[in-house]
Amino acid sequence: MRKIRLGVVGCGIAARELHLPALKNLSHLFEITAVTSRTKSHAEEFAKMVGNPVVFDRYEELLDSGLVDAVDLTLPVELNLSFIEKALQKGVHVICEKPISTDVETGKKVVELSKKSEKTVYIAENFRHVPAFWKAKELVESGSIGDPVFMSWQIWVGMDENNKYVHTDWRKNPKHIGGFLSDGGVHHVAAMRLIFGEIAWVSAIAKDISPLLGGMDFLSSIFEFESGVVGNYTVSYSLRGDDRFEIVGTKGRMEIFWDRIVLNGEEIEVPHQDSYQREFEDFYRVIMGEKRNDLGDPLEALKDLAFIEACVRSQGNRVSVSSLL
Amino acid sequence: MRKIRLGVVGCGIAARELHLPALKNLSHLFEITAVTSRTKSHAEEFAKMVGNPVVFDRYEELLDSGLVDAVDLTLPVELNLSFIEKALQKGVHVICEKPISTDVETGKKVVELSKKSEKTVYIAENFRHVPAFWKAKELVESGSIGDPVFMSWQIWVGMDENNKYVHTDWRKNPKHIGGFLSDGGVHHVAAMRLIFGEIAWVSAIAKDISPLLGGMDFLSSIFEFESGVVGNYTVSYSLRGDDRFEIVGTKGRMEIFWDRIVLNGEEIEVPHQDSYQREFEDFYRVIMGEKRNDLGDPLEALKDLAFIEACVRSQGNRVSVSSLL
């Protein structure tokens, strides 16, 4: 089995703590051959954790080195577009951490670049690889709760000054729309769209509650899927509460957890699988031409972001999500 | 202590099952001296349950009889305005079951009549007499959860063909806006406004899910109180689910139940008191001039209804609640 030679670009929290453990388990598929980071010492530390990839001072040198088939971009969001563009110009595949971009207008450019290139652009949205969400979709579609009518997701992230993400420079002064609302929010939208399909419109209120977190940190919304299912999505990145993801139908209800679903009072276990590992396996298969890029499709990531941008713009007014696309 | 001589007008479920038990416990304050109902046999049955009030064929005869100081109106909503008007013309106090009227425009006329009359018009909204809501208000205002940020109330009434309210003629073909959404909903709005004050705007979606229930039966909304607290209110009269009323603040959260509040994980008991009995006691004190009519004020009932009417009109758009008043 041919290994993909991977260049890791950006050596922050996501690269070290989310991608690297997955890639270590996938050493039969990927070999990290090159590394670069804005802060060279970070790249050198990362290189030591990996083995002996070449450390480059500049991204362009890495791309020109001939050492990489693909790059893994884990960067401040505002750099995604230009870094993706450069990789494609050099004929290098890309996997890039979500959100696709700072806003929908910029994200559209990523989608366009991707369409024009023969190389893969894969937006890494690990929530599209969480087994519990696929199980929920299957249960909804099999009629286990009758016709689904309503879903509600409340998420209380409760970040305080001890949280590592809070202190990232690009998160403290966010250039991406809504700050944490898009950074974290695209995950949630991906899961909801996975289960229920496209969202037709949303009405929402977004607020900046915590002075500690850069940008906005609270969002509450109602929306309607094209199927007619009604949704509520409320998230706070600073407040603490009781997370709850539930679906109510004409003949029952379910609650979704990370490792189980409670369906009409009955527990259904959903064995945990590392979603980052599944994501990189999927990326590998797409590059190898074994499947189409359905789960890493930039257009899917753009739709996730469009929902959040619609929420931020809404101020209680109804916004058609597709009108942003 | 002087007893109020009360005429009961309408002898349906509310009169028999909600008001009569309370009035029996308040026989030192009220004496039911007269009864009338569209269906005379209902009035006669009711009279037997009470003792020996005079049964009148027509409301006008009851008002003219000189036997009543006040009337208790438990009628199809569309009759409230004309029945209140007639009582005031005869110098008779009124207690009238919520909702105040079929819609806000009609409700305004009740408010106007009430303002012009020296007699009391008391809209019976028993949720304004539920001790748990007052306790929640006290706990929120005392800072027990820091600054309140968000409240969410999900209510799943789950009415099926065995439910007695479903088969009431005026509920099967509702003339009141939103059907069950206003009939039941004004209760919930009263509780939310009791705790948090006025609601500035709402965005909502209302649906008719169940063919069994007349009119609409599902509502989901986001809104903002004038204080800036954000709310979600979702109710279904046909679906079954897990009722939940929670408030999240900067320093904690609480869940509200009928007989207790769970504050930051700690149970606080709130002894049950019959809210109908408290309501009639309050009505008595208002008539006697011992207090002002703050809890039965038609304007308060109108504001409850205005929120629901705003929800029904919204279709996802932001509607200012006060713009309806």
Task: Give the closest-approach CA distance of B254 to chain A in angstroms.
Answer: 9
What whole-number percentage of chain A has pLDDT above 70?
Answer: 100
Between chains, do A220 and B222 touch, taking CB under 8 Å as contact? yes
Average pLDDT over residues B21-50: 96
Query: Does pLDDT of B1 surpass 80?
Result: no
Cross-chain CB nearest to A150 (options B149, B220, B249): B220
Cα–Cα distance measured from residue B177 to residue B184, given in angstroms and rounded to the nearest whole number: 11
Q: What is the pLDDT of residue B227?
A: 98
What's A4-126+277-294's CATH class? alpha beta
Residue A201, CA distances (Å) to A177, A204, A278, B84 in order: 18, 10, 31, 43
What is the chain B residue with the closest CA to A156? B248
Query: Does pLDDT of B115 surpass 80?
Result: yes
- According to DSSP, residue A51 is labeled S
Residues of A in contact with B205 (CB under 8 A): 222, 224, 230
A158 or A1, higher pLDDT: A158
Average pLDDT, chain B: 97
User: A201 with A223: CB under 8 angstroms?
Assistant: yes
- Show the tokens assigned to B135: 């306790």
In CATH terms, A128-271+303-324 corresponds, of 3.40.50.1010, 3.40.190.10, 2.40.50.140, 3.30.360.10, to 3.30.360.10
What whole-number percentage of chain B has pLDDT above 70?
Answer: 100
**Torsion angle defined by CA atoms of residues A219, B244, B133 and B18, in that order, rounded to the nearest 10 degrees:** 140
pLDDT in tens, A103-113: 999 999 999 99
Complete DSSP assignment for B282-311: HHHHHHTTSS--SSS-HHHHHHHHHHHHHH
Q: What is the pLDDT of residue B168?
A: 85
Domain boundaries, chain A: 4-126+277-294, 128-271+303-324
- Show the tokens assigned to A203: 């009405």
B4-125+277-292 and B128-270+303-324, same CATH topology: no
Cross-chain CB nearest to B205 (options A156, A224, A239): A224
pLDDT in tens, B278-315: 999 999 999 999 999 999 999 999 999 999 999 999 99
Confidence of residue A27 (pLDDT cuts 50, 70, 90): very high
User: B89 with B117: CB under 8 angstroms?
Assistant: no
H or E stretch covering A13: helix A13-13
Beta bridge partners of A107: none
Cα–Cα distance measured from residue A276 to residue A265, given in angstroms and rounded to the nearest whole number: 30
Give CATH for domain B4-125+277-292: 3.40.50.720
Query: Does pLDDT of B134 surpass 80?
Result: yes
Count of CB atoms situated within 10 Å of the CB of A118: 7
Average pLDDT over residues B142-168: 94
pLDDT in tens, A128-185: 999 999 999 999 999 999 999 999 999 999 999 999 888 888 888 899 999 999 999 9
- Show the tokens assigned to B251: 């320093």
User: A275 with A127: CB under 8 angstroms?
Assistant: yes
Residue B36, CA distances (Å) to A138, B58, B99 in order: 57, 7, 21
> B147, B225, B230: best mutation site toward chain A, by most A Cβ within 10 Å?
B230
Between chains, do B248 and A236 touch, taking CB under 8 Å as contact? yes
What is the chain B residue with the closest CA to A202? B316
User: B110 with B100: CB under 8 angstroms?
Assistant: yes
Q: What is the pLDDT of residue B169?
A: 86
Q: What is the pLDDT of residue B67?
A: 98
Q: What is the pLDDT of residue B34?
A: 98
Confidence of residue B102 (pLDDT cuts 50, 70, 90): very high
Residue with tokens 């009263």: B190
Between chains, do B203 and A201 touch, taking CB under 8 Å as contact? no
- According to DSSP, residue A144 is labeled B
- Do the bridges between strand A93-97 and strand A121-124 make them parallel or antiparallel, or are there none, so unpaired? parallel
Average pLDDT, chain A: 97
Query: Does pLDDT of A1 surpass 80?
Result: no
Q: Which fold has domain B128-270+303-324?
A: Dihydrodipicolinate Reductase; domain 2 (3.30.360)
Query: Looking at this protein, which amino acid is placed at residue A79?
Result: L
Could you tell me which of A50, A51, A18, A55 has the C-alpha nearest to residue A38?
A55
Could you tell me which of A235, A298, A310, A303 has the C-alpha nearest to residue A85?
A298
CB contacts < 8 A (A, B): 103
Q: What is the pLDDT of residue A307?
A: 98
Q: What is the pLDDT of residue B166?
A: 87
